[in-house]
Structure 1
Amino acid sequence: MNSTQLDLVPYIRSASNAIRKPFLLGERTLLDYAILYVQEGTMRVTLTREKKVYTITSGQFCMLQPGDLHILEGTTDTISPYVHMDLFYNPHRERSFVTLPGQIQLAGQEELMQPRISELEGFQQVPPLFAPKNKTAFVETMLALIEAWDDGACGLHNRMKAHGAALQLIFQLLEPYVEEERAPNKSHSLLGWVTSYFALHISEPLRVADMAKRANLSVPRFNVVFRETFGVSPYHYFLTLRLKHAKELLRTSMLTMHEIADYCGFTDNHHFANTFKRTTGVTPGQYRAGMNESE
């Protein structure tokens, strides 16, 4: 899969809070990404090929990437929230799976394996023990994902909330490892939480007053700072992001127009269809049909 053709479309396979006595999981090779947070206790990860051993203690994070041959061990009683998911769209993703201990050679499954972060342009290598820029926000997003997902036994609305949180989790994970250097921007730092806010409230009405309060600014001052940071008003910024998410769902899911309109925060199908056509020049149905014809 060419890095220039990668679409960031998370696909959750398993997510839960693992509460375990000391344990040992035998060697396995991953097809997807495994992200875990050691909330309590101590764990050890052995990367067999690299002959490296990492000890993960309370409050630390670990990410295992596709192709990692590893052994996972709990050396004490542990509480460790975890998520198994694809980060990038793969048309064969529904055939993929979370590998089990003992599954080492995955011959014939190559088309199911996700790309590694090192294959992406503009990103540094993410170490197995990674450090999110905002630990509290990362934990909150991860736990929100797990609560909504409940290992897939939830309804459609909660699954959509879980995948929205997954997208934000990836952003928070990768943000510290972007290679491009950017000039300090005080306004951007002040509103650095905006993308997270939208991802977690995508289906809800936009309330500028709520965001201004969160930024400790008056509404007029918030609007000024927002425009300085993002170049547009809050309304137009969030509308653009809602439409971007709608396009992604039209491309990659079989959700109905009503479900997409509801998930992306439009008041109804009519509002969604009119806004989409006014912005893109085609209706949501025409956009989906065009994508299918191009495949």
Structure 2
Amino acid sequence: MLDVYIVGDDMNQEISRSILNSHQPMNRQIIKIEDPYMKLDVYWIFFRAGGRDILLSKKNKHTFYELQLMLDGFICQTVEKENKIFTTTIEAGNFMIIPPNHYHQVTEASDSGTRFSVAFQIESQDTYILAAIEQIKKILVFPFPEAASSYIQLMREVFKKTSPWASKEVSNLLQCLLLQLFIAVLPDDVRGIQRDVKPDSAAGMMLEIQKYIEEHISEGISVSKVASHFGRSSRQLNRICNSQRGMPLNRIIGEEKLKYIKDLIGTSALSFTEIAELCGFSNEYALNRFFKYAEGYTLGQYRKLAMLS
């Protein structure tokens, strides 16, 4: 039997509704979830949909885990680990769980998007959950399973109704969501699933992936398009990329896209609007923001430097 408690001064449904729809954190209210596998304390839930300013965040450090899941658009997440700063792009369809006691900040974002985030503490002696936590500590981006967006949508639907069991429904859905995400980060060898890519063939597969990206970089290529071309899941391709290149697929695509942009700026007479369209950006402004974040120069500044050289 699942025990769910809502702790706080005000326990009515309006408080719970505000958790999903406002831009303010949950105050003095904790969702407690306990079952034989784990104990969860959920401190707040954010559902941010809108422009760039809504997606950005200030520099923070917590004593709990923080889920960042992108349903639409992208964010650039910085995380400090062992006195080093790691910057990762989380695109739509992907998520990251930031471990406790790590400074982090969303420093850049798309013009619009939808970011779902949850702050939680977890206690467990379950072998699989402990293995998932070890993966989370590596500060990696993972593709989320299709069911994840359905759980989030169901949570939002709950608060469109006046159900007296709304809080319990959200608690159950949230637990299912987190379990799905833990499974997504779990190494295959821990789950006892035989890898479908043999170690000696992973290098060859990586070459094929790299070649496909380079040949289609002008077509607004994405992780999902690469996965579809090779008939594999994003998770399988990320596993190959991490083992062979030490980075996930979305970062490899980002690096190749940056090289392509620099080449177009330096060697062609194309306008920045035309380059943005070729590279899959919504407009010149979005391209310029991406480029400046990566290189430290605006598009115009880089073109002048390229002409001088």
User: Is this a same-fold pair by TM over 0.5?
Assistant: no
Q: TM-score, normalised by structure 2?
A: 0.40
Which gives a bigger RCO, structure 1 or 2 (Cα 8 Å, sep 6+)? 1
Q: TM-score, normalised by structure 1?
A: 0.42
